[in-house]
Structure 1
């Protein structure tokens, strides 16, 4: 009882500190706010804000999953270009239509990511490709682009196939009991195994073993904490953040994550040194050997670039790039695989078309591995993946610093100094480009239906010079996994799509998972 009372008093004390600091910070920024910026943000139209708090009260006490509902209500009421203040010190402009998104993303003028959002990732990812400012980003992008050439991605096909086969094995018992279950954790562990092997050349066996459970838990924990920092804006301020338990949890996760990556880098460097000293006598790690051919993980390619003198990369530089691809390469891919699986399970007529296409491709041997030639024939499956990304983009919003005034077609101006949100979750549902926008209709992405569409109406991997470098990797992996899943199983959704709640964490995931019943195809 004494301990409970002490804990309650401690929480109240911390809440008082948070409230006091929040008001002080809000007043400070209210007094120093740029008058021109305020005027131009207000002229855009949008939800009215309160002194000091801005529109923050709109989200206070509301469940996190209602974020998209609130923003959708704003769009319906104020239009597809909206100005808003968060706490009177973060000036946002929200863009939910193709023309304004094109003006933001298509040039190098506004290439820096929105600092108030992406800074939350710095402790984990440092200044990797996702978060780097323009000067560092340009050099890193040039260095890393060759690593995603299609010929190099082809070398990863055995990993995609192997991990997909392990996924099928893991699902076997669930199929036997015939009950509904959440398939999303299974898919997530599959993509985590895949990215560890392709990015680091390291097997962690997340699907079949608990040996590296601490690392797996730390990845999931960090994603949850980043979301917490997004929805609790007072945690953006160092005095509050370092007083909170979030800081201690994050430090513990970072120790595991960065320690693991650095240990892999150290081990990889040592093995490469031994190989060189053995004058060509190779002692290749089992994860780097594919049918007698050496496969280079993403980490190996970074080490090659550094050792060849093309660029100088410290262990910290390499670690932040590997961690970036660990973060981006498993969670976003898992999300789209989950949403696509759910949508096909809920639309049996589309699932049947996918299976008929796969049966035609694999009629000579239904159980063989997928090749890149097979993937090229999966036209309808690709349409389904794209339509899934339209309805549920893995990254529902993208932010940029507005470095110069942007004049819109209607004459309004997005002012320099604002933080622009490309709200692609809503632009993908714009009826001007997608009639019946809430309907799952893969035929939208047939060649004839896509040709005349605005190029920025559909940007699930961002667009322009800072688009996603790993989009070909992601789509290749997703098609292999989905092909194996739907060649082997038929799936039935056990909840209505209208009851599914999209949860906008760092990525967009279904709040209650992907609940399906599966049965073996005969």
Structure 2
């Protein structure tokens, strides 16, 4: 009746250990059952590549609907016909060559992190330093050249920790897939997370507006790389693809 559901009982450590054990014992493609629901597990990277390159496997599983609780309706949980439409629009932004434009930003934040680590100190946890570097890189390449405030950093850290923890629990605790039960158990955490998320999105929107204003004020004939503090912004690429502005904002 429950199939292999016992593999997913216990804490995250035990569940991960169980999954690692069966993926080591079985080779190729095999199936585990969560009650009446079959889950096919692919171990060989070559098999994974065949599946990912197949146009017949683009439709997302129902488990992706769990993202809607945290992220609303978006491409991450969209049906394949919607995903295909907007994937074509964002193709220019996702081109690997665009990474070259962001190298000055990566070099800048990487240099700052190196300087922090070069200072002699006793052994300590440097996760916060690495997080700050990653966040600065993301914000400067995607949102705005302006530095992120400490308050915004704390809000984003809270969201990543709380939402990430709750989402992982929901993935492994099958009974939390029931929307009404999940909302009943975690309604306080969800309300606080949504409030903070709205606050962060307002900050992001303001950053985009500032970048849009700067873009319009810059002389089209001027050297854009000299007009910016470091590299070009992802917004530069978006302005070459006008439909992306609205859809990316959504």
Instruction: State the TM-score bracket (shorter-chain normalisation).
Output: 0.7 to 0.9
The answer to whether the Cα contact below 8 Å between 1:204 and 1:211 also exists between their aligned partners in 2 is: no
1:110 aligns with 57
The answer to whether the Cα contact below 8 Å between 1:201 and 1:296 also exists between their aligned partners in 2 is: no
Measure how far apart 1:194 and its partner are: 0.7
Task: Specify the SS of the correspondent of 1:54.
Answer: coil
- Provide closer, same or farther for how the CA distance between residues 169 and 83 of structure 1 changes in structure 2, counting only shifts above 3 A: same
Matched, 1:188 2:127: no
Higher Cα Rg, which structure: 1
Measure how far apart 1:163 and its partner are: 0.9
Distance 1:80 1:275 in 2: 52
Task: Specify the SS of the correspondent of 1:181.
Answer: coil
Q: Structure 1 or 2: larger strand share?
A: 1
Matched, 1:250 2:185: no
1:319 aligns with 249
2:16 aligns with 68
Q: What are the superposed Cα offsets for residues 208-229 of structure 1, whole Å, 9 maximum, x if unpaired?
A: x456422332233222221121
Distance 1:312 1:163 in 2: 27
Taking the TM superposition and a 5 Å limit, the aligned residue runs for 1:479-498 are none
2:43 aligns with 96
- Provide closer, same or farther for how the CA distance between residues 90 and 201 of structure 1 changes in structure 2, counting only shifts above 3 A: farther
Distance 1:281 1:76 in 2: 59
Distance 1:161 1:171 in 2: 15
Task: Specify the SS of the correspondent of 1:93.
Answer: strand
- Provide closer, same or farther for how the CA distance between residues 183 and 241 of structure 1 changes in structure 2, counting only shifts above 3 A: same
Decide which of 238, 244, 268 is 2:179's aligned counterpart. Answer: 238
Measure how far apart 1:111 and its partner are: 0.8
- Provide closer, same or farther for how the CA distance between residues 69 and 262 of structure 1 changes in structure 2, counting only shifts above 3 A: same
Distance 1:290 1:139 in 2: 32
Distance 2:133 2:207 in 1: 24
- Provide closer, same or farther for how the CA distance between residues 103 and 172 of structure 1 changes in structure 2, counting only shifts above 3 A: closer
Distance 1:111 1:230 in 2: 21
The answer to whether the Cα contact below 8 Å between 1:122 and 1:131 also exists between their aligned partners in 2 is: yes
- Provide closer, same or farther for how the CA distance between residues 128 and 97 of structure 1 changes in structure 2, counting only shifts above 3 A: same
2:160 aligns with 219
Measure how far apart 1:203 and its partner are: 4.0
Decide which of 225, 228, 233 is 1:297's aligned counterpart. Answer: 233
Higher relative contact order (CA 8 A, sep 6+): 1
Task: Specify the SS of the correspondent of 1:185.
Answer: helix
The answer to whether the Cα contact below 8 Å between 2:66 and 2:177 also exists between their aligned partners in 1 is: yes
Task: Specify the SS of the correspondent of 2:9.
Answer: coil
The answer to whether the Cα contact below 8 Å between 1:159 and 1:194 also exists between their aligned partners in 2 is: yes
Measure how far apart 1:57 and its partner are: 1.9
- Provide closer, same or farther for how the CA distance between residues 271 and 84 of structure 1 changes in structure 2, counting only shifts above 3 A: closer
Distance 1:230 1:161 in 2: 37
Decide which of 193, 205, 221 is 1:265's aligned counterpart. Answer: 205
Distance 1:81 1:171 in 2: 44
Matched, 1:171 2:101: no
The answer to whether the Cα contact below 8 Å between 2:67 and 2:76 also exists between their aligned partners in 1 is: no
Task: Specify the SS of the correspondent of 2:38.
Answer: strand
Matched, 1:82 2:17: no
Q: What are the superposed Cα offsets for residues 167-187 of structure 1, whole Å, 9 maximum, x if unpaired?
A: 1233244xx22x333333322
Distance 2:78 2:91 in 1: 15
Measure how far apart 1:267 and its partner are: 5.2
Q: Structure 1 or 2: larger helix share?
A: 2
Per the normalisation by structure 1, the TM-score is 0.42
Measure how far apart 1:199 and its partner are: 1.3
Measure how far apart 1:237 and its partner are: 0.8
Task: Specify the SS of the correspondent of 1:83.
Answer: strand
Runs (4+) of structure 1 moved beyond 6 Å? none
The answer to whether the Cα contact below 8 Å between 1:219 and 1:257 also exists between their aligned partners in 2 is: no
RMSD of equivalent CA atoms: 3.1
Taking the TM superposition and a 5 Å limit, the aligned residue runs for 1:87-166 are 88-116=35-63, 118-166=64-112
Q: What are the superposed Cα offsets for residues 149-206 of structure 1, whole Å, 9 maximum, x if unpaired?
A: 4553222112111111221233244xx22x3333333222211211121111254547
